Amino acid sequence: MAIITPTGGANLNAVPAPSKQTLSSNYLSFTGGANDWSQQYLPELYEAEVERYGDRSVSSFLRMVGAEMPMTSDQVVWSEQGRLHLSYTGTLTAASGAIAVTGHAVRVGQTIVVSDGTTTVKAYVSGVATDEITAKRYDKELFSTDSDFSDGSVTLFVYGSEFSKGTAGMNEAVTPEFQSFTNQPIIFKDKYEVSGSDASQIGWVEITGEAGQSGYLWYLKAEGDTRTRFEDYLEMGVVEGENAIAGSGAAIAGVKGTEGLFAAIEDRGHVTAGVDGNDATEDLADFDEILKKLDKQGAIEENMLFLNRAVSLNIDDMLAAQNSYGSGGTSYGVFSNSEDMALNLGFSGFRRGSYDFYKTDWKYLNDASTRGLITDIRGVLVPAGTSTIYDQTLGKNIKRPFLHVRYRASEADDRKMKSWTTGSVGGAFTSDLDAMEVHYLSERCLVVQGANNFMLLN
């Protein structure tokens, strides 16, 4: 009878020793290699995670400048006031004084200022027609007298009116102008899943959450990361959102999109490539051009600048260059600098003209896994305070932050931030799935009111 001697598996590494000795031959290998455990003692295991990317969340922008309010409809509609005074650009026929202006509201008897960019005159409106104004100069008979004006483009605005004695009153009335805007919420979804087998392998890890909390978690650490990432998406989605154009691939696929912050500013606001860091004096001139744009809009005194690192440093350099003495030295005392302290070259706020600006870095524009990877957007200027608008749902004027989020909510369901658990693991018994699934859902959109007061730095 043959005796069969058991043999070890290919990865067995356990040779008994006659006494308790720390030999490489009597250690069990983790990976099966011959010398993996030639060290004498168990390895040191760091329980705490190394936060090599710091606070990884990029949200907080909207929490700083906006608000969140519920809505019950598929669409949010608001109206914004037009300009109070009448101004137009038209085409002048100098010999007759006829100015072609599309869709004007100028009336007979009103007085206007007319300019071709070189010559500026005052005139009396003697006749109006659809898309045309007939004006008579106060100082000369014709616009073409002495070649003051030639046929071409002119700008004009109404500054008053004048009527002869015993004449009838003003014909017609000017209806206040307003513009109506809409946006629609989109649905965000995400999911975390862990199988029943993996859930049973409890491994404790000391973690620090993005909000600063710390403690021990096991497999749900991954769920915490998923939730944090989803919360970031809620902000990123309404900042980056785009409406799906009819006939586009997205529209054909069945999604409608939403108007995000960047899209709203590009459509209804201002875009500049200034403050590029080429030269401090040039950057100051660029900033003055920004002030001129603000002057033509709401002239809101306080504004926030959310910037990437490069533009933030450019503005620091621009301000430092304006506040130095001697040959480029720093003004001690003005910005809490002194000879006996580390030099502070950072500025959190400044005033230029009649405007106050508060500057801060926007992590979303610096993070290497978000806009820091694509640097075509360098910052955004956001007006502080509130705007007065007509809410068609409430039927009255209300004050709202220029930026605010609307989310779907009713007495039956609040979709601001929903989460629920399904499966048959971790306390959930909703199906025969041998896993725990954590679902996340939100339905929301961003309302950008008074976008003409916003500016995007590209």
Q: Please spell the DSSP secondary structure of 54-105, one letter per residue.
A: SS-----HHHHH--EEEE-SS-EEEEEE--SS-EEEEEEETTTTEEE-TT--
Contact 56, 370 (CB under 8 A): no
What is the third-level CATH fold of 87-165?
Answer: Thrombin, subunit H (2.40.10)
Q: Alpha-carbon distance 68 to 397, whole Å? A: 18
> Bridge partners of 215?
207
* CB neighbour list of residue 157: distance below 8 Å, 6 or more residues apart: 85, 86, 87, 88, 112, 113
* CB neighbour list of residue 336: distance below 8 Å, 6 or more residues apart: 344
Q: Alpha-carbon distance 362 to 370, whole Å? A: 11
Six-digit token pair at 440? 């996340």
Q: What is the pLDDT of residue 25?
A: 56
Q: What is the pLDDT of residue 131?
A: 95
Q: Alpha-carbon distance 304 to 448, whole Å? A: 15
Q: What is the pLDDT of residue 388?
A: 62
Backbone angles phi, psi at 57, to 5 degrees: -70, 140
Regions of the chain where pLDDT drops below 50: 32, 37-40, 332, 342
Q: What is the pLDDT of residue 329?
A: 53
Domain ranges of the chain: 61-78+183-324+344-457, 87-165
3 state SS of 187 = strand
Q: What is the pLDDT of residue 134?
A: 96
Q: What is the pLDDT of residue 387?
A: 62
Region class of 280: left (phi > 0), else alpha (psi between -120 and 50), else beta: alpha
Nearest Cα residue to 381 out of 359, 364, 399, 352: 359
Q: What is the pLDDT of residue 92?
A: 96
Q: What is the pLDDT of residue 426?
A: 74
Query: 91: burial class by Cβ within 10 Å (0-12, 13-18, 19+)?
Result: middle
